[in-house]
A and B are shown apart, each in its own frame.
Chain A
Amino acid sequence: SQKIEQNSEALNIQEGKTATLTCNYTNYSPAYLQWYRQDPGRGPVFLLLIRENEKEKRKERLKVTFDTTLKQSLFHITASQPADSATYLCALVDTDKLIFGTGTRLQVFP
């Protein structure tokens, strides 16, 4: 069956450290993958998109990698801040449909 899996347990890290979130997919062959942030009571907000021919993408303190062999994307937040606390969702496009993963909640404490 097709699955997009993210760490179901919350990730707790200390301010200033690098947070690394994982997205693994099964039985999809996406041409690109997206990451979103979702705060409580709000809709997801787009952060980054990475294409299958791109190994890595950066935007300010954010970095995304995409390994089509491992069928995995890693999302890094460097120098994390309490304001980065939120749920992070990966999403891929499969036959024109935008499909989301389960999400990982990140908590950054001072």
Chain B
Amino acid sequence: EAGVAQSPRYKIIEKRQSVAFWCNPISGHATLYWYQQILGQGPKLLIQFQNNGVVDDSQLPKDRFSAERLKGVDSTLKIQPAKLEDSAVYLCASSSYREGKAFFGQGTRLTVV
């Protein structure tokens, strides 16, 4: 079974530039999560999708972050414009049912300079 795929693995951008991250979840997984993990902290939920719909995006900074899940499969997370404090690892995860274990990708390490 293929795992959760994320790209790119690393990204360095200047502040005020835009960036996009891509996630391909495990086939058949209805739930998809995007987390932001700052060094030394636990993952912070940015947005959670159930199929095409958004379950929660209360911690997504909507003035600069956006996310979509195409046809209930792949997802993209975009930041525009980026700030220095957006430097973090962005993790994508998926799960097959409500209480099920979440499978994570390797993450994208974003550095904003």
| A interface, CB within 8 angstroms of B | 4, 6, 31-32, 34, 36, 41-46, 49, 51, 89, 91, 93, 95-103
Contacts and interface: CB of A to CB of B under 8 A. Distances in A.
Given A96-B55, A98-B93, A100-B35, 4 more contacts: A42-B106, A46-B102, A99-B45, A100-B45
Given A100-B43, A103-B41, A43 B99 contact: no
Interface string B94-112: 0100110111111100000
Interface residues of B, number: 24
A44 B33 CA distance: 13
B109 to A, nearest CB: 8
Given A89-B43, A103-B42, A96 B98 contact: yes
B99 A93 contact: yes
